[in-house]
Amino acid sequence: MHHGIAMMSKPEDDGSEAGAKTALKRTARSEWKESWRVVFVSMVGIGMGGIHIYSLGAFVIPLSEAFDWPRAQITSGLTIVSLFSILCSAFVGMLIDRVGPRRVAIPGVIAFGLSVALLSTTGPSIWNWWLLWILVAASIQFAKATVWTTAVAVRFTASRGLTIALALSGAGLSAALTPYLSSYLIGAFGWRLAYIMLALGWGLVTLPLALAFFRDRPASVPDRDLRHARKPVAPAARLRETYLSVRFFGLGMAAFMSAIVSLALLVHFIPIMVDSGISKTSAAALAGALGISSAVGRLAIGWLFDRFPARIVGSLAFVVPALACALILFFNGSMIEAFIIACCIGIAIGAETDVAAYLTAKYFDLRNYGALFGMLMGILSGATGVGPLLAGLAFDNQGSYAVFLWAGIPASLVAASLILALERMPGARGDRTASA
């Protein structure tokens, strides 16, 4: 790995700026040539890992009509996922650091696909719904973004921001396809078969790709050398110190507050549009625009991360949920305004994950990337459960989402301020400690 670590440092022996840029370009090209397949598979895997979230909005009304369940109870399945993630994410991250992402991802994809398909058996008791969500919550821990981005982060340095964003754009791809596909399948086959077909379709794409191309190390490292090539896990004392640091706390809190707002807007987007007089079909199509804007927004944020101060880029990204809340509060029902709202939510839903993934790799020790980003994903998962639940409770109690939307504006601005307040990035990348 000494060669890989050398690639991660900036060129210092060339006195000219042009020479440095040439070396950086050459490094980026070699990274892409060797590892682009891992980025692609990670994008698909992250896309599959979001189907339980991105499909839920399409299932809310059919499930409510079928079993007379309140919307808050239906979306509370995500709260169960968040509780599991809070408890398990850091430990799963440590497992990834020790055994490698591939050994976690393959069984994780299989288990998660089966658990989503089993949601088709729910009802009539809400307890049955919650029990099935426990299975979803347990299995997604081994198939979510932590698994896939770990493999990407350790392979790229010169274009790390863009490659992480590209991998995470799989969530945007899923957000674009899954709501519309779910609505179509529900209309054509009913919600039970829709869950089965959704899980089967994503699984049959993701699993073969992961088996064929998802590797823990570059192809240039022989299998017999893998044990020596993998970086050793950093001491537990250093990991605890990082968890307790002000910077890690600030990053986690900012991501948590932003995610509460953006994930609530995502899950309740279709109901919000339908309540405003837009048809279910049009709302599902708008949700597709939301997903596309998420993918484009992720790539733009990643590109900006590689070129501008990350705290500036991150803080601007975290302002977008506040803008979305304001637009919904004054929404007049027009399709043009609905499209703008969808684009804002799309940009917002991935911002917290992009910021967390990039800053984890930039600020902290890459030997503990899985454990650190796993902890942040646990925090984000907590927001995934809290945000949609709070929005659902606001609607159930007030008959509208206005209270939640008004609260979401200052929450988003506080999150942006926390990112802006993080101390400036060091000149050397955070992975410089990996060579220590």
Q: How many domains does the chain have?
A: 1
Instruction: Supply the range of the domain harboring residue 403.
Output: 37-216+235-426
Residue 127 sits in a domain of what CATH number?
1.20.1250.20
Burial of 240 (0-12, 13-18, 19+ CB in 10 A): exposed
Token pair, residue 95, equals 């497992």
**Alpha carbons 13 and 261: distance in angstroms, whole number:** 47
Query: Which SS3 state, helix, strand or coil, does residue 436 take?
Result: coil
State the first-to-last Cα distance of the chain, in angstroms, to the nearest integer: 13
202 lies in some domain = yes
Q: Tell me, yes or no, whether 185 lies in a domain.
A: yes
Residue 17 resides in a domain: no
- On whether the CB atoms of residues 38 and 213 are closer than 8 A, the answer is yes
Is 371 domain-assigned? Answer: yes
- Tell whether 284 is covered by a domain: yes
The answer to whether residue 192 is domain-embedded is yes
For residues 318 and 254, the answer to whether their CB atoms sit within 8 Å is yes
Q: What is the largest CA-CA distance in the chain?
A: 71
Contact 166, 284 (CB under 8 A): no
Contacts of residue 254, defined as CB under 8 A and 6 or more positions apart, other chains included, come to 314, 318, 352, 355, 415, 416, 418, 419
In 3D space, the residue among 128, 111, 110, 127 whose CA is nearest the CA of residue 119 turns out to be 128
Reading the block at residue 176, the tokens are 């674009």
Q: Is residue 21 part of a domain?
A: no
The three-state DSSP-derived secondary structure of 67-132 is HCCCHHHHHCHHHHHHHHHHHHHHHHHHHHHHHCHHHHHHHHHHHHHHHHHHHHHCCCCHHHHHHH
What pLDDT tens digit does each residue of the chain (436 aa) get?
A: 334 333 333 334 444 444 444 444 547 677 777 778 888 999 999 999 999 988 998 899 899 999 989 888 898 888 888 888 888 888 888 898 888 899 999 999 999 999 999 999 998 899 999 999 999 999 999 998 889 988 887 777 767 778 888 888 888 788 778 888 999 999 999 999 999 999 999 999 999 999 988 876 655 444 443 343 445 555 666 777 777 788 888 889 999 999 999 989 988 998 888 888 888 888 888 887 887 888 788 888 888 887 888 888 889 999 999 999 999 998 888 899 999 999 999 888 877 788 888 888 777 777 778 888 888 888 887 787 788 889 989 988 888 899 999 999 999 999 999 888 876 543 333 333 333 3
